[in-house]
Structure formats: structure tokens, C-alpha cells
Amino acid sequence: MSLDHEGMIAMTKLTFASHPFLLGFDQLERLVERTAKSGSDGYPPFNIEQSSENGFRITLALAGFRLEDISITVEDRQLLIRGRQVEEDEGRVFLHRGIARRAFQRNFVLADGVEVAGAVMENGLLHVDLHRAAPEKVVQTIQITKG
């Protein structure tokens, strides 16, 4: 907080990149902003669970989707799961239509070291398994020279 020219309290936004103890975290700030902007309407519903010490599983409920309707890509540390169903309703008359048939896109930002281990579709659920490699502990001694 600071005082503006009229003596009022002005709020300043402290970001990762501007904090004096967090050097070089501007990429993390961009990831957080991108994640916040990729808010979704809740479709399709999903779970995230820890499957092992270094493993995670994302499960999406995709009833009615075929394997050909779904694509999974990783771009710039972002896992993108997309789905599009082909309309095959020609000649069908619905008295009630409560099953959604629409395209979707789900985005998940992956931390450094997290890789997609595989994906499987079973009983209308898409499981995407992730694995995080255990980070190596690095100690670096910096030589001090006379100036």
C-alpha cells in the first residue's frame, strides 16, 4: 500500500516478477495468468488424483465420445484435451434430449518435470496418467573473487 497524491491509500499489485526475493519467476507468473484465463464451464467433469508418490491421474467423464473424437496434446507445458463429436442425428426424432453433444477443451498446466505417461479410455472415462521425475538436489559453490 502507498499514499497517492490526495493522501488516499492506493493498493499496488505485487506480482511474482516484481517481488524482490523471487528472481526469474516471470514465466511462472505467465503460467498462473494463463491458467486463470482458461476457466471453463465445468464440462466435461473431471477428477485429479494422486496415484503414487510421483504419479497423478486426471480422469474426464466422456460418455458418448469415441477415441476418434478426442485429442491430447502438450504445448508449452500445457496439457490440452479436446473433444468433438460428429453429429449423426439425421433421421432421428428426439422427444427429450438431455445428453450433451458438444465440443470441449480442457487445459492443465504442467510443472517442470511432469510428463504424460499415457492415456486410456474405459467405460466412458478418459484417464490421463502423469509422472513427475524426482528432482535432483544440486548444491553449487560460488567462488568469490577480489574486485
Residues of the chain with CATH 2.60.40.790: 42-132
Q: What is the structure's pLDDT at 56?
A: 94
How is residue 64 written as a grid cell? 458418448
The Cα–Cα gap between 36 and 127 comes to 23
Q: How many residues does the chain have?
A: 147
Q: Which residues of the chain have pLDDT under 50?
A: 1-2
How is residue 133 written as a grid cell? 521425475
Other residues' Cβ atoms within 10 Å of the Cβ of residue 40: 11
Q: What is the structure's pLDDT at 134?
A: 80
The Cα–Cα gap between 145 and 27 comes to 32
Segment (H or E) for 99: none
Q: Which residues of 98-128 are buried (b: 16+ CB within 10 A; e: fewer)?
A: eeeeeebebbbebeeebebeebeeeeeebbb
For residue range 21-63, what is the model confidence (pLDDT) as tens digits?
666 666 666 666 665 555 556 889 999 999 999 999 999 999 8
pTM: 0.67
Q: What is the structure's pLDDT at 64?
A: 84
Determine whether domain 42-132 maps to CATH 2.60.40.790: yes
Question: Is 35:76 a contact under the CB 8 Å cutoff?
Answer: no
